Amino acid sequence: MHGWIILDKPLGLGSTQAVAAVKRNLRSAGFGKVKVGHGGTLDPLATGVLPIALGEATKLCGRMLDASKTYDFTICFGTETSGLDAEGEIVATSDIRPSLAQVEAVLTQFTGPIEQIPPAFSAIKIDGKRAYDLARAGAVVEMKSRAVTVYALCVSAPLREHNDVTPGCDATPEVIDEITLTADVSKGTYIRSLARDIAYALGTVGHVAMLRRTRAGPFNLESAISLDKLNAFGQEAAQEDIILPIEAGLVDIPALNLSPEQARAVQQGRVLTGIAMKDGLHWARGADLRPIALVQNVDGILKTVRGFNLTL
């Protein structure tokens, strides 16, 4: 059992609980003990794409954690909370509300390489302890700034259309209590921090009222299944409707076709030379087209990064 289950994680379910649900349904479907891991934590208050790896696909979880991700999120203006989300205690308020034009004007400040301070209620470790455990215990948590990249940031289309002012009209755009944005970000980016800082730039405060991940690496909502469909797997639903092949997590990098002799060399961890190919990461496959390994080519020298043990 090797491959991916892409869960459209519902509200209130933690990532660890999602993994447990997959294990439970695999057992119910008669697959016994299968190694399972996830490719990027989603808070219980967030929904959306949660890649869950099975068997040899768990070797790609680290790569999935490093992948860029896309989120839709709603900023509720006027209230900042301790967790920067809808569940935290109110720590600051403001009567200032921005207009749509003001929001769009500040988004360029948060596009590209930026520095951000993660929320105190996060999984980052401080002296061996999770920041959220320290924060919940009442400790003063000093979070260090980190460099991240926001590749794209824009107002979600429906709200922009709703708030557009007719050309030539003298009407002033109304201020808004909340706004939904779409962000394409690098690993390590905290959307709650991004929302907080956008609100600060607008002269107000805010918190995340809705957070939905629409893409994680090569996976998006189109390939995601609901929790109900996952539960149907334990009731003899078709495997191909639930589980994607391991190579579905590799479609964003080039494939490299190897001869039987080259495939054996890669499986044995030997270095190959003389293969005409671009530098960078590739996934190697043999005559049966099954993934053999992740390989890295540098100046004509091909080395194995991670091997897969896929048996028929």
pLDDT digits (tens, 9 = 90+) for 64-95: 888 999 999 999 999 999 889 988 889 999 99
d(CA 4, CA 40) in angstroms, rounded, equals: 13
Using the structure block, give the residue that is written with the tokens 């708030």: 163
Left (φ > 0), alpha (ψ -120 to 50) or beta: where does 218 sit? alpha
Query: What's this model's pTM, rounded to 2 decimal places?
Result: 0.87
**Single-letter code of the amino acid located at 58:** T
Q: Are 295 and 279 in contact (CB under 8 A)?
A: no
Please check the confidence at residue 244 and state whether its pLDDT lies above 80. yes
Please tell me what DSSP assigns to residue 309: -
d(CA 147, CA 65) in angstroms, rounded, equals: 16
pLDDT digits (tens, 9 = 90+) for 18-28: 999 999 988 88
pLDDT digits (tens, 9 = 90+) for 194-224: 999 999 999 999 999 999 999 999 999 999 9
Number of Cβ atoms within 10 Å of the Cβ of 124:
17
Using the structure block, give the residue that is written with the tokens 């890669």: 266
Active site residues: 43
pLDDT digits (tens, 9 = 90+) for 126-159: 556 665 555 565 555 666 788 999 999 999 866 5
* Low-confidence winner among 93-97, 110-114, 222-226, 286-290 (lowest mean pLDDT): 286-290
d(CA 18, CA 40) in angstroms, rounded, equals: 12
CA angle 54, 65, 268 (to 5 degrees): 60
CA 275 → CA 278, 300, 301, distances in Å?
A: 9, 7, 8
Please check the confidence at residue 184 and state whether its pLDDT lies above 50. yes
Beta bridge partner(s), residue 225: 7
Please check the confidence at residue 97 and state whether its pLDDT lies above 90. yes
* Residue 202 structure tokens: 């607008």
Q: pLDDT exceeding 90 applies to what percent of the chain?
A: 46
